[in-house]
Structure formats: C-alpha cells, structure tokens
Structure 1
Amino acid sequence: MSTHGEQPREAVLRSGYCADFLGTGVEVPFLDAAIRDDAVLLEDCEVIPYTHFSLSLSASRRLARWVGWNIDGAGLLLLSRTGIGFAKDPRLPADTQVGIELYEGNSLDRGHLARRPDLLWGELPEAQQANRDSFYYGNIAPQVDDFNQSRRDGLWGRLENALYEDVDVQDLRASVFAGPVFGPADRVYRDVALPAEYWKLLVFREQGVLKARAFLLTQDLDRLRAVPALDEFRVYQVTVAELEARTLLHFPQVVHEAGVLPAVRAMSERKPLAAMSDIFW
C-alpha cells in the first residue's frame, strides 16, 4: 500500500461501478416494480456513477437504496481525508439528497456505505477523485450511536477485511453492494426516516469459482417481536433471496447461483454471527 498526500482537484471520468470487474458480468441490482418510480434520475438513468462506485437514490427517502463498488485490493493507496468535506452532488437536485441539515447539533454519524479505503485504487488522480467522491451525501447514511458502535468495532465493519483474511480471493478483487433497509416503522427525525437495518453483499472469486455472500445488520431478524430502542445490533448471514425480500431489490441470476448456501435455518431459528469463523464463505 502506497502513501500519497492529497493533490489539487483533477478532472477524472466517473465511470462508476464496473460490472465486468471479476471477469463475469455482475450487474447492479434493479428496483422492484413497486419502487421503480421512486428513483432519482440522472440524465434519465436511475444508476448514478461516481469513481469506482455507483448508486441508486430514493426520491422519497433521499438516501441511497444501494451502493455498488469495486475493490482492487492489490492496488489500494493510502490517501488522507484532510480537507475533504461532505457535500451534496451538484449534478442532482439538492432536495433529493439528505445533507448537513440532518446531522447538525446531534450525535448522528455520517456513515459511508461504500467504505472510503475500499475505493482508493488505480492511478493517483483516479484514486484522489474516488476519495473526494466518497464524501458525496448519496454515499452517506445516518447511523445512531449504538448502530455505529457495532459498525466500527463489530463484525459489520470488518466484513471486507475478513474476506481477504479468510479467503484466497482471486487477484484480491471483489465487488460489493450495500445499503439501508427502508422500513415503514423507521423513526422520523427532522423529516428523515432513519433506517434501522443495513445490508451488504460481497461478490468474489475463489479458485476460479464466483461466490456471493450476503449479510444483514439488524436488531430483529424475523420482525416478529417489538424491539427495545437500545437493543443490540447483530450481524446475520442471509441468502440472496432473503436479501431481495428485505430490500425490494433484484440481483442478477449469476449472483443467485454464486450465493447458494448449505441448508439454512428458518429466520426465527437463525443465530447471529458471533465471530468471523462463523461465516460460511
């Protein structure tokens, strides 16, 4: 990993998430018909490109439904975030994006959906542009203190690292999708419904075989009980089909085939992941 300081802004083409990054076409998810009209469009397209990642923004929630990004683990650079501020994307109407007005004067954390360090690869100007792009509010989701603690110190924040530590990832390359789960009972604060669950999908090759592994960070896996506001967030490994049902997103068939798991217990019997060794890779 190389170390470089931040350089002056340079124009870099935003090609976005690359579907062929792993040698097999892994397209971005598409929205269920029930939510298709809720997408914010950029030049008549619901997929909004940035540097090394793309996303789809919900018009009603003003947050991303999904973010998809590519990681070149062999080419990562170490860049400073000093001097880079959060900003709304000027290509989009300001009122379609949740901005600083949600976060001022409270303990809400501005959490990156696509992790900033994951995006910092390629030639230096390209990596610098990815560094800046990661701070656009479309890539940010509000996270309350107890959730954010789980993200920082628990399994959730270490999933990508665990993938590289525990799996012989081909060429150290992976494609990742992540986002919030929008629920009808999400608590509204400053006119923003705060997501209570988050999901992540890792796609990679191991010994030539394409694999996909999905995870959910939640307080209530089966949604059958009332959850105290301060109940602990837990990480569960889920199937791609379960993820689709939770999010109203649809992933391509190649992801379903790559995401096959051994016999899976019913939701009500599922246990949270207690350690990285619990993950079925």
Structure 2
Amino acid sequence: MKQDPATTASKRMGSHPHFLTTIIDLPTPATEIAEDLLQLDGSPVIDYTHFSLALSRSRKFARWVGWNIDGAHMQLLPRTGINFTTDPRIPAEDQAGNDLYANNRLDRGHLARRADLTWGPDTEAAQANKDSFTFTNITPQMEDFNQSRQAGIWGRLENALYEDVEIDDLRASVFAGPVLRDEDQRYRGYQLPSEYWKIILFEQDGLLTARAFLLTQNLDQLQVLMALDEFRVYQVTVTEVEERTGLVFPGSVHDADDLVLNQSGARSPIGETSEIAW
C-alpha cells in the first residue's frame, strides 16, 4: 500500500544534535519570535531528511535551518525531474510557493544546500535530495545572486571548509537562515529578506570550532538594475548573528566561536575563500 507522504515525511530524521562529538542543540527563539513559529505536532521544529527548520508563520520563510554534512558518505545526485513543492504537513497558506516566484527575476534559493544533504544509503540520499526542494527550505534570491563574485563565495563556504581544514571524520553541522526585518521590502504580499546568515561547525582533534558569516543582498534590482557587487559576504561572530535574528545559540556554539574580529572600524567583505579565517 502506498504511504501517505505526510506520514512518511513525519518520520524522517532531521538535524541531529549528536552528529558531532560535541552535542549541538538547536537554536532557541526570543519570545516574540517563538510566538510566530508554526507548530507541527506540537513542536516548532520541522524535520526533513538530514535537516530541520523552524518556520515563521507571518513571513512564510524559515527562521533557521539546521543540517548535518557527512562528507565521507556523500553522493553526487542529479536534480533532474525534481520539482519544488509545498510540505503536505503544513497548510499551503503558511508557505511561500510558486505565486512568489512566477514571472519575475526571483530565484528559488536553497537555505540548506542540496549538495550538503545527499549522503548516506541510496534511498536516504535520494529522499534528502527531494526534501531539499520543499518550499520551506527556499527563500527568494535575485537571479544574479549566484553569479556575483561575493555570492559565489557564499555558495562555496562549505566547500572551502573541506578544502582548507582537516575535519574529524569529514563531518560538519550548519545553521543558516534569512534575517527577517520589519522593514524588509514588500512584494506580492511577501516581505523579501535582504540579508542571510550561516554558522558552520566542525571538529579538529575533537575540539569544536564555530565560524559565522553574513551575506548582505541588495534587492532593489526588482525595480532598478544594480551592480552585481552589491552582494557582500562578511565573517562575523555568533553573537552578531543572534543580535540580527533574535535567535539564541547554545553555549557549546559560543564556546567554539574563538575567532577575534576587528570590531573597532569598518570590516572588509571577503573577496576570496582564501581570506576566510577558519
């Protein structure tokens, strides 16, 4: 008998706090954000294959997405034939769907990277591949987003980590999401985020390291063609991410954020992945 997709999806294993040697709990929201999170089966955490997220009911985008990467068991799977889809467990009116993206220059941008999720046994990797195209894991990005030099760095952060750092067991955990502000630009009944954040966690010789990044995206291209270099990637602290998002990360993540950044003046954006301080 064919399984109901909602029932099948509800049994999937999401982001796991014990994936690394150090326990990494999920972020907790400030009170006003907590009240805005969609509840599924009494929980604000929605699980998919290899990733979990919390969804803003007012904005219809994820507040955060958390996922695990098992580089030793990664599979290169095609995206051919996989369509973007709403989550059948969640009311359609609580998700930003095709009505936002049709007939404009907005791309459907993955928060949890598809390439990060396709690991494990064949059926598991294939399900993660499909799950990554759920609209709850998608946010609007300008069509030039992935072509710009700075945004290209954003998409290569995890790759740069694996290229530059000897990671224990080739395993990493990531949190990411949009910065949702009251003043975000309105379009088709939605407010479009103009900044994104990401925190990458990995272990070297059993010691956890956390590195945080912020992407500032100019969305004025919906009205006026702007230069591609309006995209900027900055290396920031976990505390700065908290201040921008209203999320609180566990003590283990703060303890692992040992990078000392220059806070006294203007900081330069990252121009090449070689400039990242791991």
TM-score by length of 2: 0.90
* CA offset digits 1:163-216 (Å, max 9, x no partner): 000111111100001110012221111001010001111000012210000000
In structure 2, the CA distance between the partners of 1:215 and 1:244, relative to structure 1 (3 Å rule), is: same
> Could you list the runs of 5+ residues in structure 1 that have no partner in the other structure?
1-8, 221-227
User: CA shift at 1:161, angstroms?
Assistant: 0.2
Residue identity over aligned pairs, in percent, reads 56
Q: Is 1:243 the equivalent of 2:245?
A: no
Equivalent residue in structure 1 for 2:101, among 97, 100, 103: 103
One-letter amino acid of the counterpart of residue 260, structure 1: D
Q: Distance in 1 between matches of 2:55 and 2:177?
A: 10
1:271 paired with 2:236, answer: no
Asked if structure 2 preserves the Cα contact closer than 8 Å seen for 1:29 and 1:251, the reply is yes
Among residues 197, 200, 207, which one is paired with 1:199 in the alignment?
Answer: 197
Indicate whether 1:85 and 2:83 are aligned.
Answer: yes
Q: How has the CA–CA distance of structure 1 residues 209 and 65 changed in structure 2, closer, same or farther, with 3 Å as cutoff?
A: same
Matches within 5 A, 1:144-223: 144-150=142-148, 154-218=152-216
Name the CA distance, whole Å, in 2 between partners of 1:185 and 1:105.
24
Runs (4+) of structure 1 exceeding 4 A deviation are none
C-alpha deviation, 1:96, in angstroms: 0.5
Q: Distance in 1 between matches of 2:140 and 2:151?
A: 17
SS in 2 for 1:38: coil
The aligned runs of 1:219-234 (5 Å cut-off) are: 230=226, 232-234=230-232
Tell me the matched-pair count: 264
Shift of 1:134: 0.6
Tell me how far 1:270 sits from its aligned partner: 1.0
Query: Does the 8 Å CA contact 2:185/2:192 hold for their aligned counterparts?
Result: yes
Question: Aligned AA for 1:43?
Answer: D
**Could you tell me how far apart the structure 2 residues matched to 1:208 and 1:168 are?**
12
Unpaired runs of at least 5, structure 2: 219-223
Residue 260 of structure 1: how far off its partner (Å): 1.9
RMSD: 1.9
Residues 50 and 77 of structure 1, relative CA distance in 2, 3 Å threshold = same
Structure 2 CA distance for partners of 1:205 and 1:198, relative to 1, 3 Å: same
Cα deviation for residue 269 of structure 1 reads 1.4
Q: So what's the TM-score if we normalise by structure 1?
A: 0.89
Verify the 8 A CA contact 1:244 1:251 in the aligned structure 2.
yes
Deviations along 1:123-177, whole A, 9 cap, x unmatched?
A: 1111111011111100000001343433886211110000000111111100001
Matched residues in 2 for 1:77 and 1:98: separation? 29
CA contact (8 A) 1:150 1:156 kept: no
Displacement, 1:229?
7.8
Q: Distance in 1 between matches of 2:127 and 2:150?
A: 25
**Alignment of structure 1 residues 31-180 onto 2, 5 Å:** 31-150=29-148, 154-180=152-178
